[in-house]
Amino acid sequence: MSENGHQEHVVSPKLYATILAALLFGTWLTVQAAKIDLGRWNIVLALLIATIKMSLVILFFMHGKYSSRRTQLVIVSGFFWLAIMLGLTMTDYSTRKPEPSRSANPPAIAIHRA
């Protein structure tokens, strides 16, 4: 806050340090989680941890929590569009039958051997 009445939220170093610790813990956790065979849930867990880490960075390091509603709308819209692009494309690819050109090869076995 300055003499001009220009207000902005100042995040304390203590909170920044807490977020740092949480992010480092998340990094350790994601490596440990990858070493356990969870079948197809490995990727789900990895993305879940990464999304939580991302949220912490956006909310606190990037001050998303303290931004104006308008800015928050822009932030959310970016991920909304990304979700449309990834979601709709992958529903297409995951429901297609194998293309004839590749049917000569046996289908690759699932990576997790579940």
Residues that bind another protein in the complex, under the rule CB under 8 A: 1-8, 10-13, 16-17, 19-20, 23-24, 27, 30-31, 34-38, 42, 46-47, 49-50, 53-54, 57-58, 60-63, 67-68, 70-71, 74-75, 77-79, 81-82, 85-86, 89-90, 93-94, 105-106, 108-112
- Which tokens go with 99? 């293309």
Q: Which amino acid belongs to residue 40?
A: R
Least Cβ distance, residue 89 to another protein (angstroms): 6
Say which DSSP state 100 is in: G
Strands (E), the chain: none
